Structure 1
Amino acid sequence: MFSICRQTHPATGIEHAVSCCFFNNEETCLVTAGANIIKVFRLLPEGQTKEVNAAGQPIPPKMKLECLASYTLWGNVMSMASVRCPSAGRDLLLVSFREAKLSVLQYDPQTDNLITLSMHYFEEDDMKNGWTTHPHIPWIRVDPECRCAVMLLYGKKLAVLPFRKDITNEDGDPLEAKPLDSKLAQPTQPINRAPTLASYVIVLKDLDEKIDNIIDIQFLHGYYEPTLLILYEPVRTFAGRTAVRNDTCAMCGVSLNMSARVHPVIWATAHLPFDCIRAVPVQKPLGGCLIMAVNSLIYLNQSVPPYGVSLNSIATHTTNFPLRKLFDLFLFIKIIKI
């Protein structure tokens, strides 16, 4: 293989970035991924300053990034996410690879390197449905309460990866299969367990026959069970065909009951603008999600009616969704996602 493909220079670009407690729970680091290179950075002040602003408050010093570690993987990173794990002393790192592979990584202070806690492979022939190549990216999304994670498989299925409540807990987990002999289930000393439980696959067509052409998936805040929002387009269209077919996007909220493996659709909204590009979950206490389109912004919440604003005059001619005209005002949006 070395004679066919050889990497002469390591990747210098950045494609993914997450903020997590990589080394320990006391320090938050910036973890970046580009191609097959993972780098860990720390934010440090650049010198000391005693300057003050007009209000008499001290001006914070300039910050710089210090590269603490760099790791080379055996495949290009397609998606990356972090999971809080206070009982383990540091966070977990979920990394997906093409076409449908998932690895759970964690920093090991003894070897000063990354260790693989679990690997998941979803590239069987029955998963591909007869296709040999797929353009879909295996997105990883993590529940805000760190109860589970999902990965998109070939744009048609979802892989659900439940997490343990406490890795070092001796009590049994309700999602874990127990042995028949009760004597074998009593460990003599505390043991470190894997952070993940058995994964399983959900076929999106089984939830709703219209779910196809996935645009984005996100977990919502403030729900008792993990709730996944799916933004999709059942029948595709394009800008030159909006006079005949517009408002083709839709969304649905799926509640994940991982113990019973029952996933009802608890919320659905159709006839969204055709140019929807992503969904941004809104944290508590407001909740809901913000649907970002090319020409409009729409706020959706299960308990209130939808509210949308148009960002320019084009939105009024390309959609029938009720939008408030705010394109003549200055609208500033600050979305922080690290």
Structure 2
Amino acid sequence: MSYAAFKMMHWATGIENCAAGFITYSPVDFAAQMPPIQADDLESEWSPKRRIGPIPNLVVTAGNVLEIYLVRIQEDDGRPAARPGGEQRGVGITDGLSGARLELVCHYRLHGNVESMAVLSLGVDDRSKRRDSIVLAFQDAKLTVLEYDDSTHGLHASSMHCFEGPDWHFLKRGRERFARGPLVKADPLGRCCGALIYGLQMIILKSAQAGQGLVGDDEPASLGSTFPARIESSYVINLHDLDMKHVKDFTFVHGYIEPVMVILHEREPTWAGRISWKHHTCMISALSISTTLKQHPMIWSAVVIHQVWELNPNPPKKWVGYS
């Protein structure tokens, strides 16, 4: 075999994007029944085993490599672990576990580097038979939604969205180069996704509801079948029209009836020589996204210092932190 133009000698190994989601199975498939506690066990020195909840898949990307792992856990014998000095180990996330390992489920080499990744969920109910989907973003403005297929035991694209070419050239506003690629984030309840492209263009991807549209076409949801999250439609929000300039980051927050997107942007960039008299140049603005009416009113905003670069939601509260 000859390689006239290009040959990849060493594939990427450094992890660039990481997310967790129920890709290969639904939460109800993982649900374990807790054995009832017998009367004789109440006086036992052995502490009751804590129920291990559903553990999602681990999804990672490295360059153009996409991998999905299954987390295999190993429970301990239930005996309380003693520390030096007689202290007992407190209850935490790893309580009841003696170890865990990763099992590779899928490995793909894509035809482009993954710029950003998000997991589109269909809710937070552990008894749901719904699966999550993976949303990948590529240069310059390409989005792909992947779902797991049981028949092939692999991933396939449920929808692809491209905002390039002559029909979308106006989104660039005369520019040809951008500092970074597209950035994609998902609503915690899976109602929509947001993708920031070309610096100031926000793409809203509306999720199809259970039993409607594209979801459950092959197997109706009423029969209790397992179906993944899918995208129903999309539209564009021009952030420049909302007087937002130099967008740094955005995220979705928890606890609202409608999806709320919080955007971090800088109204007027500053530098070291201007910090003494102009340092509160960044602003955090929250938009309430109505995917049905395609409206996005601003519900609150706050002014922050110029050194803010990232937003971090704080579930389950309606807070958002920045760093």
| Residue 35 (str. 1) matches residue 53 (str. 2) | no
Q: 1:224 matched to which residue of 2?
A: 257
Q: Which amino acid is the alignment partner of residue 306 of structure 2?
A: F
Q: 1:196 matched to which residue of 2?
A: 231
| Residue 251 (str. 1) matches residue 284 (str. 2) | yes
Q: Which amino acid is the alignment partner of residue 118 of structure 1?
A: S
Distance in 1 (CA, whole Å) between partners of 2:229 and 2:17 is 25
| Residue 70 (str. 1) matches residue 99 (str. 2) | no
Q: 1:306 matched to which residue of 2?
A: none
TM-superposed deviation, 1:245: 2.1
Q: 2:116 matched to which residue of 1?
A: 79
Distance in 2 (CA, whole Å) between partners of 1:204 and 1:243 is 29
Correspondence for 2:182 among 107, 118, 138: 138
Distance in 2 (CA, whole Å) between partners of 1:107 and 1:193 is 8
Q: 2:313 matched to which residue of 1?
A: 281
Within a 5 Å distance, the mapping from 1:1-338 to structure 2 comes to 3-25=4-26, 26=30, 28-45=56-73, 52-53=81-82, 54-55=86-87, 60-85=97-122, 89-123=130-164, 124-166=168-210, 169=211, 190=220, 195-206=230-241, 208-209=242-243, 211-270=244-303, 272-284=304-316, 286-292=317-323
Q: 1:300 matched to which residue of 2?
A: none
* Preserved contact between residue 266 and residue 283 of structure 2 (Cα < 8 Å): yes
> CA 1:101 to 1:88, structure 2 compared with 1: closer, same or farther past 3 Å?
farther
User: Could you say what secondary structure the match of 1:127 adopts?
Assistant: helix
TM-score (norm. length: structure 1): 0.73
Distance in 2 (CA, whole Å) between partners of 1:28 and 1:243 is 48
Distance in 1 (CA, whole Å) between partners of 2:270 and 2:173 is 24
* Preserved contact between residue 121 and residue 188 of structure 2 (Cα < 8 Å): no
Q: Which amino acid is the alignment partner of residue 101 of structure 1?
A: K
Distance in 1 (CA, whole Å) between partners of 2:105 and 2:152 is 15
Q: 1:310 matched to which residue of 2?
A: none
Instruction: After superposition, give the CA deviation of every residue in 1:254-279 in whole Å (9 maximum; x if it has no partner).
Output: 11112111111111112x11101111
RMSD between aligned residues: 3.0
User: Could you say what secondary structure the match of 1:140 adopts?
Assistant: strand
Over the matched positions of the two proteins, sequence identity in percent amounts to 29
* Preserved contact between residue 118 and residue 194 of structure 1 (Cα < 8 Å): no
TM-superposed deviation, 1:145: 1.5
Distance in 1 (CA, whole Å) between partners of 2:5 and 2:245 is 37
> CA 1:61 to 1:250, structure 2 compared with 1: closer, same or farther past 3 Å?
same
Q: Which runs of 5+ in 2 are unaligned?
A: 31-54, 90-94, 222-226
TM-score (norm. length: structure 2): 0.76
User: Could you say what secondary structure the match of 2:309 adopts?
Assistant: strand
Distance in 1 (CA, whole Å) between partners of 2:88 and 2:277 is 60
Distance in 2 (CA, whole Å) between partners of 1:290 and 1:125 is 35
| Higher relative contact order, structure no. (Cα contacts within 8 Å, ≥ 6 residues apart) | 2
Q: Which amino acid is the alignment partner of residue 322 of structure 2?
A: I
TM-superposed deviation, 1:94: 0.5
TM-superposed deviation, 1:193: 10
Distance in 1 (CA, whole Å) between partners of 2:62 and 2:260 is 30
User: Could you say what secondary structure the match of 2:170 adopts?
Assistant: helix
Instruction: After superposition, give the CA deviation of every residue in 1:108-144 in whole Å (9 maximum; x if it has no partner).
Output: 1211221000000012211212222222321111111
